[in-house]
Amino acid sequence: MTVLTQKNVTAIAALKGRMAHVTSLFAAFWLTVLLAIPAEAKVDVQEVTSPGGIKAWLVESRQVPLIAMRFSFVGGAVYDPDGKEGLSNFAAGMLDEGAGDMTSVAFQERAEELAVRMSFNAGRDMFIGSFQTLTENKEEAAKLLKLALTKPRFDADAVDRIKKQIITGLKFDQNDPRQVASKEWFRIAFDGHPYARPVKGTINSVGTIDAKDLRDFADKVMVRDTLTVAVVGDIDAKTLGPMLDEIFGDLPKSSDLKAIAEAKPPAGPQRKVIEMNVPQSVAVFGHSGLKRNDDDFIASFVLNYILGGGGFNSRLTEEVREKRGLAYSVYSFLSPYQRAGIYMGNVATENKSMVRSLEVIEAELRRMAEDGPTAEELKNAKQYLTGSYPLRFDTSSKIASQLLWIQIEDLGRDYIETRNSKIDAITLDDVRRVAKRLLNADGLIVTIVGKPEGVDSRS
Predicted confidence (pLDDT) per residue in 132-149, tens digit: 999 999 999 999 999 999
Range name among 1-15, 310-324, 394-408, 412-426 with the lowest pLDDT average: 1-15
Predicted confidence (pLDDT) per residue in 89-123, tens digit: 999 999 999 999 999 999 999 999 999 999 999 99
Q: What pLDDT is attached to residue 399?
A: 85
Where are the domains positioned within the chain?
6-21+40-248, 270-450
Fill in the DSSP letter of residue 5.
P
* Rounded Cα distance, 437 and 431, in Å: 10
Alpha helices in 174-210 (DSSP H): 177-189, 203-208
**Does 38 have pLDDT greater than 50?**
no
Mind giving me the DSSP string for 49-101?
E-TTS-EEEEEE--SSSEEEEEEEEE-SGGGSPTT-TTHHHHHHTTTTS-BTT
Question: To 5 degrees, how large is the angle CA 367–CA 373–CA 374?
Answer: 125
Question: Is the Cβ–Cβ distance between 188 and 131 less than 8 Å?
Answer: no
**Homologous superfamily of 270-450 in CATH?**
Metalloenzyme, LuxS/M16 peptidase-like (3.30.830.10)
**Does 11 have pLDDT greater than 50?**
no
Q: What pLDDT is attached to residue 42?
A: 67
**Does 53 have pLDDT greater than 50?**
yes
Q: What pLDDT is attached to residue 446?
A: 98
Q: What pLDDT is attached to residue 154?
A: 98
What Rg do the C-alpha atoms of the chain give, in angstroms? 23
Paired with 333 in beta bridges are: 344
**Does 9 have pLDDT greater than 50?**
no
Mean pLDDT of the chain: 91
**Does 18 have pLDDT greater than 80?**
no
Going by pLDDT thresholds of 50, 70 and 90, the confidence category of residue 43 is confident
pTM, entire model: 0.89
Predicted confidence (pLDDT) per residue in 271-326, tens digit: 999 999 998 999 999 999 999 999 999 999 999 999 999 999 999 999 999 999 99
* Rounded Cα distance, 406 and 391, in Å: 16
243: Cα separation from own chain's centroid = 26
**Does 83 have pLDDT greater than 70?**
yes
Q: What pLDDT is attached to residue 459?
A: 62
CATH number belonging to domain 6-21+40-248? 3.30.830.10
Q: What pLDDT is attached to residue 44?
A: 87
User: Which amino acid appears at position 129 of this protein?
Assistant: G
**Does 13 have pLDDT greater than 90?**
no
Cis (ω within 30 of 0) for the bond into 242? Answer: no
Q: What pLDDT is attached to residue 457?
A: 79
Count CB atoms within 10 A of the CB of residue 284.
24
Indicate the SS3 state at residue 41: coil
Q: What pLDDT is attached to residue 352?
A: 95
Q: What pLDDT is attached to residue 71?
A: 98
**Does 59 have pLDDT greater than 80?**
yes
Q: What pLDDT is attached to residue 25?
A: 52
Q: What pLDDT is attached to residue 19?
A: 43
